[in-house]
Structures are given as C-alpha cells and as structure tokens.
Amino acid sequence: MMKLYTVETSTNCERVQLALAHKGLAAEPIQVPYDDRKEVRKVSGQDLVPVLIDGDKVLYESMDIVRYLEERYADRPRLYPADPARKAEVLLFIDWFNRVWKRPPNEVTEELEKPAGQTDQARVARLGKAMQGYLDLFEQMLTGREYLLGEFGAADIAAFPFLKYAAIHPADDPYLFHKVLMDYQKPGSDHPHLVAWIARVDKRPRA
C-alpha cells in the first residue's frame, strides 16, 4: 500500500487526499507534527509535505503527486482531460494558480509574521485586494459550469483547499496562513457560483 505523509489541515496535503479518493486509491496516512519533520526528511530528504511513497517511488510537491497518480493509475477515473488541448488548459491553470495566485496570500503571511511595528500595512492591503479581486475571476469561470474547467479534476483539486476558506471558517484553526485565506477572501452576493462550488467540492471524499 502507498504511504502518504501529511500535516493536519495542510492545503497541499488535501490536494493529494482529494486525488486519491477520486481515483479510489488507498494510502496509509502518516501524520507528522507541523514543527517536527524529522520523519519526512528521513524518507524524502526534504521537509515539505505531502510526501507519497509508492513502492520505490518517493514523491513530493502536491500537484506533481497528483499528475503521477494520473499517469500511474490511468485505468482509474481521470483527473486530467484526455484531449491534449484541454489537458494543456488544465496544466496552464495549475501553473498560474501555483505561481501567480498563491503569491499574495504567501506574501501577506510573511508580512504578518514580522515583529510588531515592522509589518508593511500598505503592502498587506494591496495584496489582500488582489486576493479579493480573484474571487470575481473564479466566479466567471464557474458560470454555467459545476467545476472550474468543466468536469471535476486536477484544476479543482489545485484550487479548492485554498479557496474553500472563503466560505469555510474553522473556529479552532491555528495557522496564520489559513486566517489570511479567510480574512482576504470575502465572497458576496455576486459570487453565488463560487460559493456553490466550494460546497460541492467540500462534499467530495478524501483518502
């Protein structure tokens, strides 16, 4: 059986958990403490989670794992379109999400982690405005669709664990990054498709 090293409530780990469940695959979950990655480092040579071990394969970086699962278990329900042009659209979306969309919340978190009095509040406001503005883009993408690029797949898996905090607010979540996702993503009455998509994907199983 595959093994999946995770940290509790990790957005990147949830990506892989959604992918495994969609494909009907099982992986032994190994949860490690957020501030103690010795076991992760031992098996993978680095500290990031998730880490997936499948036989002699050791993989990390969440969307690389999702793509591996698609290719290795191609007989299971698809995560990427079979059509090359549509698959390229999904890959471009994921690259944009990871390289462009994720920058503002990461940078806001870095600013807020600075010692008292050193936070650049103007920068935080500017980045927060960008995060809020992206909600309009996702709303437009979901007009007439149940999922971001048509059928449920890798694009939804890439985005959902982060966008869900626009509508799902765990009271006891201790992580600043998640608080940033909650505080700077405020869907309004003009985001019904986005809110419905969050609820729809949240009902899907995780491995």
- Name the segment(s) of the chain with CATH classification 1.20.1050.10: 84-202
Question: Are the C-beta atoms of 166 and 186 separated by less than 8 Å?
Answer: yes
Tell me what pLDDT residue 171 has: 86
Q: Name which of 80, 21, 27 is nearest 52 in CA terms.
A: 27
**Element holding 60 (H helix, E strand):** strand 57-60
Residue among 176, 181, 195 at smallest CA distance from 128: 181
Pick the CATH number of 84-202 from 3.90.1300.10, 2.60.40.10, 1.20.1050.10, 1.20.120.1200: 1.20.1050.10
Q: Does CATH number 3.40.30.10 belong to domain 2-72?
A: yes
Per-residue pLDDT of the chain (207 residues), as tens digits, is 999 999 999 999 999 999 999 999 999 999 999 889 999 999 999 999 999 999 999 999 999 999 999 999 999 999 999 999 999 999 999 999 999 999 999 999 999 999 989 999 999 999 999 999 999 999 999 999 999 999 999 999 999 999 999 999 998 899 999 999 999 999 999 999 999 999 999 999 999
Q: Where in the chain is the domain with CATH 3.40.30.10?
A: 2-72
The β-bridge partners of 150 are 147
Please state the pTM of the whole predicted model.
0.95
